[in-house]
Each structure stands twice: as structure tokens, then as C-alpha cells.
């Protein structure tokens, strides 16, 4: 069962209140076949705990890695994954679509 947006945002707030560094990733655009719709969220803390989903498969791992950097430097990132990328199979997006994900630190 996927977490609801309310669960994800409450978790982000709880982690911040606990003093943890937190980032949130949001699907902002999709093309073709995509596993999660626009508006889907993944929240990540400084210890790489996470809740939610922006894609599934290894894309989540790549987003978590980028989120750790966003937490550290505070600079948001726009990530794009798709079947045309050489790394599509490595990150698990072999469904023929493309997704764009915005990752930002929660302050």
C-alpha cells in the first residue's frame, strides 16, 4: 500500500521537528508510460530513511542519493529519467516513459 500525501508530508514535518535534514522529491512531469503520476512525493531524511514513491525500482535509489546532496548543500535539483537514457535499465525505468522529478530541501 502506498502512503498518502498527508502521511508523507506529516512524516517530513516530524523529521524536521526532530532536527533531521529532510528533502522532498516530487514528480513534476511525465511522458508516455510512467509508474507514478505527477504530484507523487518521496520524502527522505539525512539518514536515508524515506517514505512515499516517485517511480519504483532503482529510480528511487538514484533520487535518494540526489536528495542526500540536496540536504547537504541546500541546492534543489531537477532530475530526469527515461528509457532513452543510457542508464535507463540501471535505474529501473525501462517502461518506455520519461519522468522529471524536482528535489528540494525542507527548511
Query: In this predicted model, what pLDDT tens digit does every residue of 36-90 receive, in sequence order?
Result: 899 999 999 999 999 999 987 778 899 999 999 999 999 999 999 875 545 545 5
Lowest-pLDDT range of 38-42, 94-98, 101-105: 94-98
Whose cell is 516530487? That residue is 26
Closest CA to 56 of 85, 34, 87, 23: 34
Give the three cell numbers for residue 55: 517511480
Question: Which H or E run contains 27?
Answer: strand 22-31
Q: How far is CA 50 from the centre of its chain?
A: 9
- Apex 98 CA angle, 41 and 27, nearest 5: 15
Q: What pLDDT score was predicted for residue 101?
A: 96
Whose cell is 502521511? That residue is 7
**Whether residue 35 has pLDDT greater than 90:** no
Amino acid at each position: 500500500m502506498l502512503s498518502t500525501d498527508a502521511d508523507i508530508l506529516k512524516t517530513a514535518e516530524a523529521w524536521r521537528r526532530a532536527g533531521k535534514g529532510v528533502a522532498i522529491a516530487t514528480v513534476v512531469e511525465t511522458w508516455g508510460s510512467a509508474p507514478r503520476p505527477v504530484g507523487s512525493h518521496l520524502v527522505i531524511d539525512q539518514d536515508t530513511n524515506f517514505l512515499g514513491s516517485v517511480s519504483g525500482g532503482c529510480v528511487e535509489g538514484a533520487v535518494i542519493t540526489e536528495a542526500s546532496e540536496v540536504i547537504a548543500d541546500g541546492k534543489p535539483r531537477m532530475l530526469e529519467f527515461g528509457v532513452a537514457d543510457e542508464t535507463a535499465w540501471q535505474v529501473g525505468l525501462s517502461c518506455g516513459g520519461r519522468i522529471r522529478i524536482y528535489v528540494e530541501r525542507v527548511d
